[in-house]
Amino acid sequence: MAISRAQLLKELLPGLNALFGLEYDKYENEHAEIYETENSERSFEEEVKLSGFGAAPVKAEGQAISYDNAQESFTARYNHETVAMGFSITEEAMEDNLYDSLSARYTKALARAMAYTKQVKAASLLNTGFDTFTSGDGSFLFATDHPTTEGGTNSNRPAVAADLNETSLEQAVIDIAAFTDERGLLIAARPRKLIVPPALMFVATRLLQTELRTGTADNDINALRSNGSIPEGYRVNHYLTDTDAFFITTDVPNGMKHFVRTAMATSMDGDFDTGNVRYKARERYSFGVSDPLGIYGSPGAA
């Protein structure tokens, strides 16, 4: 269905002072604070987590050394989606419009719609990671029972759901320090940045940027700030749907990933018979997770 003069009646008449509604700013590229971006040249991508060796045993004098086995643990798969949208404008609507270039105005609106979709898709893994979206190991993205080949588990969420406060943030830092590899060996995992919805931005500021502890009459230092526990501070993601959930990205490699199969491209063509001009935007990408230890999350207590 093409945009015709019937949808643009006021723009065909003199005396109009302003056109508005398409000039809003947008929150751009917030996914870059969570995901590592890579290019892809295939219809899908797979990444395999490997299991190394366990702790070395003591060898008794005169006895043969022990041999260990390495193996694959699990596979994370990224299926690229095609996201596309377009619009069409009649020849008469473009001829009779008095105030602006219709194509320039609505191609900006099209770009805004495409960008919005990408941010919603990026945030959806966090929004659904406690009860719907699963990682390659079969557990929810945020779970207390990520299995290891050794028979143990890793936890990238609190045992008891907690709101963002000094205690819960300190416990998250402690939990991240307890991450192990597939054979139960401790890994040197550290937090990087805190990701919060807009409702928690002021809480995050007080927790990470004040000199002294918040919410207490004690004259204690703010240990989180003094220790540099969250070295990259916090970022607000406006597409998170839970107002009391919070997340921490870690320095574990190959965690949250964004694959670009085809970068966004726009094109236009004209129809000879009708004179209508069509515009479209299209891109292909995927969001996913290889190693769930690349992120920690709490759904909040509510």
Q: What is the pLDDT of residues 215-253, one digit of tens each?
A: 777 778 999 999 999 999 999 999 999 999 999 999 999
Contact 298, 246 (CB under 8 A): yes
Does pTM surpass 0.75? Answer: yes
Q: What is the pLDDT of residue 111?
A: 85
Burial group, residue 242, by CB count within 10 angstroms (0-12, 13-18, 19+): middle
Query: Regarding predicted confidence, which is higher, 96 or 142?
Result: 142
Q: What is the pLDDT of residue 280?
A: 87
Residue 4 has pLDDT above 70, yes or no: no
Q: Where are the domains of the chain?
A: 76-298
Which whole number is the average pLDDT over 191-205?
97
Residue 25 has pLDDT above 90, yes or no: no
Query: Regarding predicted confidence, which is higher, 244 or 8?
Result: 244
Distance in angstroms (rounded) separating the CA atoms of residues 280 and 77:
29
Q: What is the pLDDT of residue 13?
A: 40
Q: What is the pLDDT of residue 118?
A: 94
Contact 244, 302 (CB under 8 A): yes
Distance in angstroms (rounded) separating the CA atoms of residues 241 and 122:
12
pLDDT in tens, 49-87: 989 898 999 999 999 999 988 888 999 999 999 999 988
Residue 15 has pLDDT above 60, yes or no: no
